[in-house]
Structure 1
């Protein structure tokens, strides 16, 4: 606990993904008091031309009331 699944457009380097995961982990640890070993992060890349169908329509739109940060598009 917790597990975070990040989805983003294609093109992010492995180094950038590592840094993103490190920073998300640090924020979670700071605000939950959980140790680093309790945190897991997955990063998936999705092509921009299928983002709306694969991510927005299936995961974001149906769960809008659960989002603590809503998209602005």
Structure 2
């Protein structure tokens, strides 16, 4: 508890993704009061032409906390 899944367009290095994931883990530990070993983060690259089908169409409207504006 918890798992955070990040989906983004390709183009960032593994190092950038790892640093970002570590920051997300640190923030989660701080905000939720859990141990770092209980937080997992995954990053998935999604091609822009597949974004709607693979991401947008799979999120239920009621699950959005912050909705994009594009």
TM range (shorter): over 0.9
Q: Which has the higher helix share?
A: 1
Aligned length: 70
Q: What's the counterpart of residue 68 of structure 1?
A: 65
**TM-score of the two chains, using structure 2 as the length reference:** 0.92
Query: Alpha-carbon deviation of 1:55?
Result: 1.0
> 4+ runs of 1 displaced by more than 2 Å?
none
**TM-score of the two chains, using structure 1 as the length reference:** 0.89
Cα RMSD of the aligned pairs, angstroms, is 0.9
